[in-house]
Amino acid sequence: MASNVKDGGETTDRGEAFEARRMDILRSAAEAFAEEGFREMSVGRLADRLGVSKPVLYYYAKNKDDLFDQCSQIARDELQQAISSIGGSQLSGLGKIRRFFSTYANVMGSDFGRCHVLVNVSALEAKTREKEVHARRGLEDAVRRMLIEGQQDGSVRKCDPALTTRALFGAFNGIPRWFHAGGGTDIGEVADVYLDIFALGITRG
C-alpha cells in the first residue's frame, strides 16, 4: 500500500514538474514571438534564445505552430472565462463591455496576450490559423451582442454594432504594441481611459 502511495506521489510530482517547465517554455516562446515576430523566429533560433536544445522544444510541442497555439490558448481561455462570467451577471450592456475590456486589457498586457494579438495569423499554418480566426470571431460576436443588449437597455446609444466592435478591438489590440509592465502606467488605468473615450467621446457637450 505504501509503495502505491509513493508511486502515485512520484507520478504527481513528475506531472507538476512537466507542467511547470512547459509553462516556462511557453512564456519564453510567447515573449519571443511577440518581440521578434512569429514568421521570423525559427525553431533553432527560438531554442538558442531559450537556452535549450531543439529536441527539448519538440518534447513540449509538435512544432512552432503548436507552440504558438498553446501560448494563445492560455490567453483564449482567460478571455472565454471572462465572457462566461459576464454572461451570467446583472450588468447593463455597457457594464458588460467595460468589464470585458478591462479583463481584455489585462490579458493583452501579459506575455501570452501579447503573443495572441501581435502574431499575424497569416503566418500560421492553415489549421492553426482557422482555429485562431474562429476564436477571435467568437469574441467579436460576444461583444457585438453586448452592444446590442446595451442599445436595448438604453446604456449604449444607437450605433453600428459590427463597426463599433471592430473599433474597440482595434484600439485595445494596439495596447501591447506600446505598453510595458513597470513603465509607470497601470494597465487598468489604460483600459479605463480607453473605455471612457468610447463611452463619452472627445467632444465637449
> For the residues of 42-85, what is the DSSP string, one character each?
-HHHHHHHHTS-HHHHHHH-SSHHHHHHHHHHHHHHHHHHHHHH
Q: What is the pLDDT of residue 155?
A: 96
Q: What percent of the chain has pLDDT over 90?
A: 81
With beta carbons less than 8 A apart as the criterion, state whether 133 and 119 touch: no
Rounded Cα distance, 5 and 133, in Å: 45
Greater pLDDT, 50 or 6: 50
The string of pLDDT tens digits covering residues 29-85 is 999 999 999 999 999 999 999 899 999 999 999 999 999 999 999 999 999 999 999
With beta carbons less than 8 A apart as the criterion, state whether 101 and 130 touch: no
Rounded Cα distance, 52 and 73, in Å: 23
* Sign (positive or negative) of CA dihedral 26, 130, 81, 185: positive
Q: What percent of the chain has pLDDT over 70?
A: 94
Q: State the Cα torsion 167-170-176-179 to the nearest 10°.
A: -40
The arithmetic mean of pLDDT across residues 146-169, rounded, is 96
C-alpha atoms less than 13 angstroms from C-alpha of 90 in its C-beta half-sphere: 0
- Single pTM value for the model: 0.87
Q: How far apart are the first and last CA of the chain?
A: 76
Closest CA to 115 of 48, 47, 68: 68
Extents of the domains making up the chain? 2-200
Q: What is the pLDDT of residue 88?
A: 83
Q: What is the pLDDT of residue 3?
A: 41
DSSP code, position 155 = S
pLDDT for residue 1 is more than 70: no
Closest CA to 155 of 104, 205, 195: 195
Rounded Cα distance, 194 and 183, in Å: 18
pLDDT for residue 180 is more than 70: yes
Q: What is the pLDDT of residue 185?
A: 79
CATH architecture assigned to 2-200: Orthogonal Bundle (1.10)
